[in-house]
Chain A
Amino acid sequence: MSKVYMISVFAENKPGKLEKVTKVLAEANINILAFSIMSTNGFGIIKFMVDKCMDAFKILKEKGFTVSLNEAIGIEMKDQPGGLYEVVKILSSKGINIESASVYVAETRKRAYLIVEVKDIQKAMELLKETKLNFLTL
């Protein structure tokens, strides 16, 4: 089982931020596989999983974005009714709490991945080893 990485970008809640970030990624020919936005009163965090995460992290940092690289686990699920349920059922049975989540659809209607950030990734991976889940490797 291997880890994947999410790139987190700090954003104030105002128009244009997502546009700026995605423009940088587009110009660097980086493909976004999954993304999500977490926002609260006044500010938020945009999270991306990309194909070339180290490159993306470096470029965004150079361009002056406030960015961090976070470890995550990509768990395979079926792209069909009940797919997400099957996965989270296992996570909750192991007592793993999801801090952030996004979805990467690898093959439409067939295979997707739930990308989760958790508090203690080492422990979570240990707990998930004994399950029948498949994990994403990039």
Chain B
Amino acid sequence: MQFWNEKIEKLPRNQLEQLQLERLKKTVKRIYLKVPVYRKKFKELGISPSDIKSLEDIKKLPFTTKEDLYFDYPYGLLSVPHEKLIRLHTSSGTTGKPKAIFFSKRDIKQSAELIARCLVMTGSARGDILQNIMTYGLFTGAFVMHYGAEKVGILVIPAGPGNTERQINLMKDFGTTMIHVTPSYALYLASYMYDKGIDPKKELKLKRGYLGAEPYSEETRRKIENMLGIDIYNCYGLTEMNGPGVGFECPYKDGLHIWEDNFLMEVINPETGENVPEGQIGELVLTTLNREAMPLLRYRTRDLTRIIPEPCKCGRTHRRITRILGRSDDMFIVKGVNIFPQQIEQVLMGVKGVAQNYQIILESYDEMVIKVEIDRELFDGKIEHLIQLKEKITENIRSATMVKPKVELLEPGTLPISEGKAKRVIDKRTI
């Protein structure tokens, strides 16, 4: 087992919690003094920084929501003067207006530090070659990964997304050993190679893939791992928390370690805002403990997960969360039932004869239409097999969600493949 910062990664829980408390107190104090928006919230709640005496006391603090980031856009939540800022990123804005996140020099350095931990944790080292297939732009993903990899001493190819032919040539010519990519584009790359008769296991040197920025299921991970012959590590991050590297899988691939010396995590009931008992599913709430330019208190991520309380076999004391089970934003309601796209994806990936791409179309509150691409390789020209496939998908989704869908089988390549975040749910009811 390799470590980038073994001391901090294996810090005993009591010391880790002590460190968290010190940092929380410091953060709260600074926010109170420097950020008028937060000071006002504190006053409304009748609290002051001196009320924070234990980690438990975090429950007294106000939440920060995405709406707060819009409302105080662009500078309202800064706790340093402008001349200390060296970078602006915005969130990808899939759910609305962009959110502006600023980095100080120290923040960039610290984000790279966390990525370095993540990369080394998965076995990466000097000599590795990372092809960074994320978008270099307003989105944080590519840059933060880039800095972290450089910190470790990994050669970075800043490929960016798209131009699949060129991606493969880069991999061939420079012996890429790792890729950082969205799951939908990873699947696309793998199928593209397959279609072109390229055997990645023989012709490429890929060893690891880091997949993030959009939700994907365990089945999708296995599918890509098998197609490319690599290990895939799930990573979790969000622009509001400085991008990727908030949480990352270790070689046991059983949940993502959250770097608790940098983030204080809570899981709450999204409806009531109350903390749920440890181990139960709810919305992940993060407080930055080591951020300079834009510290955020109790930021509601909208991501649903649960904390895995048991210690990990890898020896790290930082607790894990399960893969993101959905976003409270993604959740949609049909026939009065709450459904997450991941539930549908899980079913589809478990059905033979289905390709990777699918779409959920919502036209009314009583019906969901699932468009599924069939697997070109398994098409045998027999219509009864297609009918059986359609019936199987319908039944499996019905039993997973309690809602019987209308399933449409499509030719592979019919649905749009996005090179960023795949648009899985088309909700025509609200547009």
Same complex origin of A and B: yes
B387, A67: Cβ atoms under 8 Å? no
* Residue in contact with A10 in the complex, picked from B384, B387, B408, B411, CB distance below 8 Å: B411
B381, A70: Cβ atoms under 8 Å? yes
A42, B383: Cβ atoms under 8 Å? no
CB distance from A71 to the nearest CB of B (A): 10
Asked whether any CB of chain B lies closer than 8 Å to the CB of A64, the reply is yes
B413, A45: Cβ atoms under 8 Å? no
* Residue in contact with A64 in the complex, picked from B383, B410, B413, CB distance below 8 Å: B413
User: With a CB–CB cut-off of 8 A, which chain B residues contact A99?
Assistant: 382, 384
Chain B 35-79 near chain A by CB (<8 Å), digits 1 or 0: 000000000000000000000000000000000000000000000
User: With a CB–CB cut-off of 8 A, which chain A residues contact B410?
Assistant: 12, 43
User: With a CB–CB cut-off of 8 A, which chain B residues contact A43?
Assistant: 386, 408-410
* Cα–Cα, bound, A99→B381 (Å): 11
User: With a CB–CB cut-off of 8 A, which chain B residues contact A38?
Assistant: 383
User: With a CB–CB cut-off of 8 A, which chain A residues contact B414?
Assistant: 12
Known contacts A40-B387, A66-B374, A66-B376; is A12 also within 8 Å of B381 by CB? no
B380, A70: Cβ atoms under 8 Å? yes
CB distance from B413 to the nearest CB of A (A): 6
Asked whether any CB of chain A lies closer than 8 Å to the CB of B237, the reply is no
Interface size on A, residues (CB 8 A): 22
User: With a CB–CB cut-off of 8 A, which chain A residues contact B376?
Assistant: 66
- B contact residues, range: 10 to 19
Asked whether any CB of chain B lies closer than 8 Å to the CB of A6, the reply is yes
* Cα–Cα, bound, A44→B390 (Å): 12
Asked whether any CB of chain A lies closer than 8 Å to the CB of B412, the reply is yes
CB distance from B94 to the nearest CB of A (A): 28
Known contacts A10-B374, A42-B408, A43-B386; is A68 also within 8 Å of B413 by CB? no
A8, B413: Cβ atoms under 8 Å? no
Asked whether any CB of chain B lies closer than 8 Å to the CB of A103, the reply is no
User: With a CB–CB cut-off of 8 A, which chain A residues contact B383?
Assistant: 38, 40, 44-45, 100
* Cα–Cα, bound, A66→B379 (Å): 7
* Cα–Cα, bound, A44→B384 (Å): 10
Asked whether any CB of chain B lies closer than 8 Å to the CB of A11, the reply is yes
Closest to B381 in A: A8
User: With a CB–CB cut-off of 8 A, which chain A residues contact B390?
Assistant: 42
* Residue in contact with B381 in the complex, picked from A6, A40, A42, A64, CB distance below 8 Å: A6
Chain B 3-24 near chain A by CB (<8 Å), digits 1 or 0: 0000000000000000000000
B409, A67: Cβ atoms under 8 Å? no
CB distance from B361 to the nearest CB of A (A): 13
CB distance from A44 to the nearest CB of B (A): 7
* Cα–Cα, bound, A45→B390 (Å): 15
Closest to A44 in B: B383
User: With a CB–CB cut-off of 8 A, which chain B residues contact A69?
Assistant: 381
User: With a CB–CB cut-off of 8 A, which chain B residues contact A12?
Assistant: 408-411, 414
* Cα–Cα, bound, A44→B409 (Å): 10
CB distance from A47 to the nearest CB of B (A): 7
Known contacts A12-B409, A40-B387, A43-B409; is A68 also within 8 Å of B380 by CB? yes
Closest to B371 in A: A12
* Cα–Cα, bound, A68→B383 (Å): 12
* Cα–Cα, bound, A42→B387 (Å): 10
User: With a CB–CB cut-off of 8 A, which chain A residues contact B379?
Assistant: 8, 10, 66-68
* Cα–Cα, bound, A79→B411 (Å): 37
- From residue 120 to 154 of chain B, which have CB atoms closer than 8 A to chain A? none
User: With a CB–CB cut-off of 8 A, which chain A residues contact B387?
Assistant: 40
Q: A12-B409, A66-B376, A99-B382 known; 19 other A-B pairs, CB under 8 Å?
A: A6-B381, A10-B374, A12-B411, A40-B383, A42-B408, A43-B386, A43-B408, A43-B409, A45-B381, A45-B382, A47-B381, A64-B412, A65-B411, A66-B374, A66-B412, A67-B379, A70-B380, A70-B382, A99-B384
* A contacts, CB < 8 Å to B: 6, 8, 10-12, 38, 40, 42-45, 47, 64-70, 99-100, 117
* B contacts, CB < 8 Å to A: 374, 376, 379-384, 386-387, 390, 408-414
Q: Could you write out 13 A-B pairs with CB less than 8 Å apart?
A: A10-B374, A12-B411, A40-B383, A43-B386, A43-B408, A44-B383, A45-B381, A45-B383, A68-B380, A68-B381, A70-B380, A99-B384, A100-B383
